[in-house]
Structures are given as structure tokens and as C-alpha cells.
Amino acid sequence: MTEPAESINVMQQVAQTQILAAEEQLRQAMLDSDIATLQALLAPELIFTNHLGQRVSLQDDLDAHRSGQLQIHTLTLSEQQVHTHGDMGVVSVRAQIAGIYAGQPANGDFRFTRVWALTADRTAWRVVAAHSGLVV
């Protein structure tokens, strides 16, 4: 038996609202270098490809925040879109970032695509894959 379209639409709206809330938590955790929140929002098996085409592991990302090598001073989001597909969601967002990486200014206009997945116990959304690119 399939669910009525109205019920599916409500479930998608709920998922989109939850993912948008998680996106905001992620933005704030990046600004604060909040390791505990980053660990809660990023899946252990995270696959992240940065704007230089380099694959960055969850541990690499956390270590950059933990050590102070990466400091994000401003992170302004725009053009945010969320599409859900069952227990998965895809976010496209533009980000104006100003900060420091390895002692050097690290500022830019980026676009991120993130894939969020609902945990097995269906209690939280986590980023399982992400990709970033420079907007030129």
C-alpha cells in the first residue's frame, strides 16, 4: 500500500525543515570550531572533496578546527536549496567565507553540495558526502 501524496509531501517538508536546522547548526559549529557538534553532524564515513579537488577526511576536518589551523570568522549562506529523497537529503548552498587557514587569509565565494542521511535509529541527520567549489 502506498502513502497518499499529501502524507509524503508533509514528510518531505518535515525532513527539509530538519535538514535546514541541521545546516544552521553546522554553520554555527564551523564558526565556533565546535568539535562536539561537528562530530554529531558529520558522519564518521564522511567523504568530502574540497574546492582544490582534495579529499578531506572527517578527522582531517576536525583536526584543522581543533588545532586552530582553520578559523572561520564569517560564514554567510545564500541560494540554499534542499531536496529530499526518503531518508536522504541534498543541499546546495552558496557560502561567503572569511577566515584564516594555516596562518593565511582564506576568503572566498563557494558553493557546497552536501548529502544528508537519516541515522539508522532515525533520530538525527548527518552529512555523509560533501563537495565544494569556488564561485568565479
Nearest Cα neighbor of 69 from 94, 104, 36 is 104
What is residue 3's predicted lDDT score, i.e. its pLDDT? Answer: 60
What is residue 5's predicted lDDT score, i.e. its pLDDT? Answer: 65
Q: Hey, what domains does the chain have and what are their CATH numbers? A: 5-134 (3.10.450.50)
pLDDT bucket at 2, cuts 50 / 70 / 90: low
- This prediction's pTM: 0.89
Q: Which helix (H) or strand (E) holds 37?
A: helix 35-41
3-state SS, residue 5: helix
